[in-house]
Amino acid sequence: MTSTLYQQIQQFYDASSGLWEQIWGEHMHHGYYGADGTLKKDRRQAQIDLIEELLKWAEVPVGEGLTAPANILDVGCGIGGSSLYLAQKFNASATGITLSPVQAARAKERAAVAGLSDRTSFQVADALNMPFADDSFDFVWSLESGEHMPNKQKFLQECYRVLKPGGTFLMATWCHRPVGGADGQLSDDERKHLAEIYRVYALPYVISLPEYETLAGKSFENIRTADWSTAVAPFWDIVIDSTLDPKAVLGLLFSGWTTIQAALSLGLMSRGYEQGLIRFGLLCATKK
């Protein structure tokens, strides 16, 4: 099951990354539109703002006299958007891993253009079995990759393993709404909605933010979580608008059925946020 899923993820991003970069730029993740989601801003600026707001929320040290991260791991690095941004911001070394050879190659190209080849490296690797020694990184960053992990517990365990004692783990990931108690279980309609999202975006399953917190509690310390669904939800309507651009339409036609299907299904995410089913969950923690 896992090898088939990994092939699907690889093929999805191999086929679509060039188009996403052409239309969206180097950052393949949500944007931040203010805590209440009402700020109007350029989409790329919103994506940069999301990175900055995440760092601020997690209280990652920035500035002179502070112990800023020196060795960063970007789990699910895409074409290197976050890796290069963080390497530059912190004057640090950054390593990115992805399942897509196309993404890894493009990230290396972008690092060379940015003059950051000496401080960054990108490789094809499995986040559930990372090719790094214990205690290798002082900051592990995972921006919208947790949803792709077929074993969430193993994913968190691996992030914990490669993190140095005292280091920070920060993830933002797609979740579904909390379940149990007053929240109730997922309805049949909600399960069908999620199943469509899984099929289109090559996801095994997603879990709720409280479930992530419980899993993280088995190893990490100083765990904090937040739900930023309202702040990022406008992103999907903006992406839907961007697909109407003639360049995007032409690019879609040449990028294959999986990419076309993903573009045609963008409304699944937009509606999921509207209905409160899809949540954007944050978790930060440290290793003692």
| Tens-place pLDDT, residues 199-233 | 988 999 999 999 999 999 999 999 999 999 999 99
What lies within 8 Å, CB to CB, of 59 at 6+ separation is none
The 3-state DSSP class for residue 284 equals strand
Asked if residue 66 has pLDDT above 60, the reply is no
Q: How far apart are CA 172 and CA 190, in angstroms?
A: 22
Q: How far apart are CA 218 and CA 216, in angstroms?
A: 5
At 254, the pLDDT band (50, 70, 90 cuts) reads low
Q: How far apart are CA 136 and CA 113, in angstroms?
A: 27
Report strand pairing: 221-227 vs 278-286. Answer: antiparallel
- Single pTM value for the model: 0.91
Instruction: Give the rounded percent of residues in the chain with a pLDDT score beyond 70.
Output: 89
Compute the mean pLDDT over every residue in the chain, rounded to the nearest whole number.
91
More confident residue, 201 or 185: 185
Asked if residue 166 has pLDDT above 60, the reply is yes
- Can you point out the beta strands (E) in 12-161? 71-75, 93-98, 120-124, 137-143
State residue 265's pLDDT score: 74
